[in-house]
Amino acid sequence: MISARGMSKVDAALVVGIFAGVGVLGRVISSQLTRRMPPLTILLIALGFCAAGFPLFWLSSLTWLSVAGLWLMNLGVANLFPLAMTLAVGSAEGHTDEASALISLATGAAGISAPLLLGWAADRLGSLGQAFGLVAIFLLVAIAYTLSIAWYMRRRSQSARLTHK
């Protein structure tokens, strides 16, 4: 925020502090929603927050709009791991230990490799700003994958209802 957006150290520290608070707020809201909605629906909503916030963060030349986009993304990002874990374990049918291990491994691998991939892309493309286009691609893939899971689960549920009639 200091070098990319020209913020003072105090303002940048405030933005980062609020960023952490927004993540906690996102988790609190999500935990309340789990009582009313299925986890897959909440995951789609979380991805929607990411999709709404990312272009604001990435493309805006206005600092306040970029910061708002960052916070909006964090409302969604803070929920991706717990919701993915819930879905993985919930669909594991007797293999919950394997499902939780795999989702933890995948999350760890993504957390380690994403910054390296962004750095590599920034070196090749000439700027970190251009490299962030990869994040947009990853986000679109995540949304498409989650929608395909929702479609599959809906079809499976409809098929089960037809079979039991």
Q: Provide the residue range defining the domain that includes 38.
A: 2-163
Confidence class for position 158, pLDDT limits 50, 70, 90: confident
Phi/psi of residue 140, each to 5°? -65, -40
How high is the pLDDT of residue 54?
95
CATH of the domain at 126: 1.20.1250.20
Domain count, the chain: 1
CB neighbours (10 Å) of residue 30?
21
- Residue 113: is its pLDDT beyond 80? yes
CA distances to 6, 81, 122, 144 from 117, rounded to whole Å, are 25, 20, 8, 21
- Residue 160: is its pLDDT beyond 80? no
Confidence class for position 165, pLDDT limits 50, 70, 90: low
